[in-house]
Amino acid sequence: MNSEIAKNLLLVGPPGAGKGTQAALLCEELSLERIDTGSLIRAAIKEGSPLGIQAKDYVSKGQLVPDELIIGLILDVLQQVKDKGSKFLLDGFPRNLVQAEALASALEEKDLLLDKVIAISVDEGKLVERITGRRICTNKACNAVYHTVFSPSKDGDLCEKCGSATYQRDDDKEELVTARLNTYNRETQPLLTYYQQKGILLNIDGNKAPSEVFKDIKAALK
């Protein structure tokens, strides 16, 4: 582990900003446990679990799932990470101020600290093409993320890492992108001021190539 910069982290940014891409790189290099609420919710929907059944309609409209559904789930996962003695990387939670306050209380109660919040910004025009071109490996254990233009799989529609099929998320289709960006601007963006006031916000320009963004994040964490 690169212990100099291994910390409890949160990634914030609009859909398509590159949070998942950077999360994979950071977790690999810093041995962090990733807590990715979007993937947890999609898995619950696929399984048809009670959470999935309740979440489905919200996700398909580009809205946030109600706080009471997501907060309990994430706090349980945080406890598991703490029990393992690992550091965590939150990706997709919190998504509004209510969730941020719930996280702050839970961390205090568990004697944990959120060290840094990495805010990735990308020009809005670029977000649309990033989201609509995203393809994901169907193998949950692999979860590789591709882009049809910017980082296509060498094996076409198959994942170059594990050979499984790749797919487009239903909510990545163009007609839903505006709703998701509006939800981000209205509900999630206020978190930037919230964490800036706490003195832990790092602003990162996500318009560059993934490797450049990663370099900038690591430099900011030092």
- Residues designated catalytic: 19, 95, 134, 169, 180
Minimum CB distance to ligand AMP smaller for 115 or for 187? 187
Angle value at C-alpha 56, between 55 and 60, nearest 5 degrees: 120
Question: Contact positions toward ligand AMP, by CB under 6 A?
Answer: 15, 37-38, 41, 58-59, 62-65, 70, 92-93, 95, 99, 171, 180
Nearer to ligand ADP, 82 or 210 (CB): 210
Is 83 or 125 the residue whose CB approaches ligand ADP more closely?
125
Among ligand ADP, ligand AMP, none, what does residue 78 contact (CB within 5–8 Å per kind)?
Answer: none
What is the binding site for ligand ADP (CB under 6 A)?
A: 13, 15-21, 130, 133-134, 145-147, 150-151, 206, 209-210, 213
Rounded least distance, CB 131 to ligand AMP, Å: 9
Angle between helices 190-197 and 97-109 (to 10 degrees): 40
The CB-based long-range contact list for 138-145 (8 Å cut-off, 24+ gap) reads 138/164, 138/165, 138/166, 138/167, 139/164, 140/39, 140/43, 143/39, 145/20, 145/21, 145/24
When CB distances are held under 5 to 8 angstroms depending on the partner's kind, the choice from ligand AMP, ligand ADP, none that residue 166 binds is none
At residue 136, what are phi and psi to the nearest 5 degrees?
-125, 145
Q: Which does residue 216 touch among ligand AMP, ligand ADP, none (CB within 5 to 8 A, set by kind)?
A: none
From the list ligand AMP, ligand ADP, none, partner contacted by residue 51 (C-beta under 5 to 8 A by kind): none
Sequential DSSP letters for 101-149: HHHHHHHHHTT----EEEEEE--HHHHHHHHHTEEEES-TTT--EEETT
* Minimum CB distance to ligand ADP, residue 50 (Å): 26
Minimum CB distance to ligand ADP, residue 159 (Å): 13
Q: How far apart are CA 34 and CA 23, in angstroms?
A: 7
